[in-house]
Structure 1
Amino acid sequence: MAADIEPTTTSEKTLKRNRITAPRDAARKMIKPIRSIAIFGAVGALVAAVALPAYAASSSPLDATATLQQVAADDAQSLVVASEATATPMKRSTYSATTPEEIEKKKAEEAAAEAAAAAAAAASASVSTSVDVSNYAMTAPGSGEVRYPLPSGSYTQGRSIGGGHNGVDMLAPAGTPIYAAAAGVVRASADSIGGYGVAIMIDHVVGGQSVSTTYGHMTYGSRQVQAGQRVAAGQLIGLVGSTGRSTANHLHFEVWVGGSLLEPYSWLAANAG
């Protein structure tokens, strides 16, 4: 292989030096603008990184579809969505329930109770007086705190208390007048109260005790009092019939004292006068 010949003249040396340094100078010229671009890019990225979060926080509104419940619950353990929110506010003094299911159950129970009360009120609101009672004595004989519900000698004793039968059957002709056994307030008065048929229930206080009496199987159109009305001892309240679970004309008469069922004939014998 031929050896390189060392240049001897100044011109030759300059030419050789130019050939060696020219590529280096060209490379430097190319690197310099690239370096400037990189520096400007880095500075721009730094500015964007600092400015963009603040800009986004100040100028980007919440999604319009987000609810207050969803926003508030971002860091919570559970999410309350709009479909689970109650339509009306629940008063703390009225509802002790805390979950939507408990609140709905409570509301359903109250609605059922109100409906039952409304039905009972509607059933007992009207007094059926289509039967003429002008020929009957408006007050039973006697002057005691307790009176017999049927006139003396107008009835015979039928089925008594026991075996699921809570009262006594006082057998009497249809249309025999029925009187309140004592002064009190009518609790129920309707043309259909279960097996009692046309019936009236009255609450009393007799001798300091709470007493309730029931009069069943009356004639349609004969009720003379309505629920909530105050009655006097011996006041005419209806006529004997055979409505409800009955096979013959009679008065079904019940007596409850302090919440306990008593035998009516014995109670009348001890208290009526």
Structure 2
Amino acid sequence: MAEQNDSLANEPEHAATSLTRRTRVRRPVGRRNKAVATVAPTPASTRPAPSKGPNRVVKPLRSLVILTMVGGLIATVALPAFGASLPVEEAKTVQQMAVDDAQSLVIASDATSTQLSRESYSATTAEEIEKKKAAEAAAQRARLAASVASTIKVDLNMVAPGSGAVRWPLSGYTLGEGFGTRGGAHMGVDMLAPAGTPIFAAAAGVVKVSQESYGGYGVAVTIDHVINGQRVGTLYGHMTYGSRQVVAGQTVQAGQVIGLVGSTGRSTANHLHFETYINGSNVDPYAWLQANAG
């Protein structure tokens, strides 16, 4: 059986579009088809409008954020360097400021600040005035005492009469106001005697106070004792200025001279104001002397 080959020229024209076959049209050499198919432009009214999707909004915003960040970094780096390069203004006095700006009011003072204290202003109440007067009077008496101290001669060999552990502080006196008088405000006994009469320690002990101005007591001495196992304290007030013969911390013996009768402090006459304390509490000093002195 003979093999038959079909010619492509005999196939119908629609077969040229077949998926398996395609006819290649050969054009004569030298002849070109000058006819060009023209596509009519689409009217503007029929063109689709450009899309305004989210991408067209996000891109400008992103660029703006980037530019802002870059500007911030530049400012952070540049401003401190610019500030450091500025000249430092020199300190000026108030006088220079006044010259530079004549319309300014500049008040200068050479006065230095002073911390106020209670002593830097005057007393305003009657009580404060009285206290101030008393302090000034005490200071005046102290100055007087310093001037007369060297003129007072005391016989330190004198001792109080008696031989007991407790002695009478004066060898001769007149009894004045007693313990508890003045409505209970008088806590001692007054022994009246001429100015300069020797005052003796009532018992052996250690001087606690020895001052030219001891409150209302004026020139005064206090002594701590231990008598019969009890802590006893004695006070001697209104002595003469400059007559004290003992100092604080000094040990004294019973009957030893410690000063002279006077009228210093709150006093109107020469006398010894004598007080006694037992275990820190005031007791009647005259009754105590009567019971213990010998």
Q: If the TM-score is normalised by the length of the shorter chain, which range does it land in? A: 0.5 to 0.7
- What is the identity percentage for the equivalent residue pairs of Structure 1 and Structure 2? 54
- Work out whether residues 239 and 263 of structure 2, in 8 Å CA contact, stay in contact via their aligned partners in 1: yes
TM-score, L = length of structure 2: 0.52
CA distance, structure 2, for counterparts of residue 183 and residue 175 of structure 1: 22
- Structure 1 residue 156 corresponds to structure 2 residue 177: no
C-alpha displacement at 1:229, in angstroms? 2.6
RMSD: 4.2
- Structure 1 residue 135 corresponds to structure 2 residue 152: no
- Structure 1 residue 214 corresponds to structure 2 residue 232: no
C-alpha displacement at 1:181, in angstroms? 1.0
Candidates 153, 166, 169, aligned match of 1:146:
166
Q: Residue 95 of structure 1 corresponds to which residue in structure 2?
A: none
SS at match of 1:135: coil
SS at match of 1:267: helix
CA distance, structure 2, for counterparts of residue 264 and residue 139 of structure 1: 20
CA 1:134–1:253 in 2, change beyond 3 Å: closer, same or farther? closer
How many residue pairs are counted as aligned between the two chains? Answer: 191
C-alpha displacement at 1:40, in angstroms? 6.8
- Work out whether residues 245 and 258 of structure 2, in 8 Å CA contact, stay in contact via their aligned partners in 1: yes
CA distance, structure 1, for counterparts of residue 149 and residue 158 of structure 2: 14
Comparing both structures, which one devotes a greater share of its residues to helix? 1
CA distance, structure 2, for counterparts of residue 180 and residue 245 of structure 1: 22
SS at match of 1:130: helix
Aligned partner of 2:167: which letter?
A: R
Structure 2 alignment gaps of length 5 or more:
1-36, 81-134
Q: Residue 85 of structure 1 corresponds to which residue in structure 2?
A: none
Structure 1 alignment gaps of length 5 or more:
1-9, 61-118
Paired residues for 1:133-212 under 5 Å: 133-151=153-171, 154-163=172-181, 164-212=185-233
Aligned partner of 1:160: which letter?
A: G
Q: Residue 247 of structure 1 corresponds to which residue in structure 2?
A: 268
- Work out whether residues 188 and 200 of structure 1, in 8 Å CA contact, stay in contact via their aligned partners in 2: yes
CA distance, structure 1, for counterparts of residue 158 and residue 68 of structure 2: 101
Q: Which has the larger radius of gyration?
A: 2
CA distance, structure 2, for counterparts of residue 183 and residue 219 of structure 1: 22
- Work out whether residues 129 and 223 of structure 1, in 8 Å CA contact, stay in contact via their aligned partners in 2: no
- Work out whether residues 136 and 177 of structure 1, in 8 Å CA contact, stay in contact via their aligned partners in 2: no
SS at match of 2:180: coil
Q: Residue 259 of structure 1 corresponds to which residue in structure 2?
A: 280
SS at match of 2:150: coil
CA 1:142–1:212 in 2, change beyond 3 Å: closer, same or farther? same
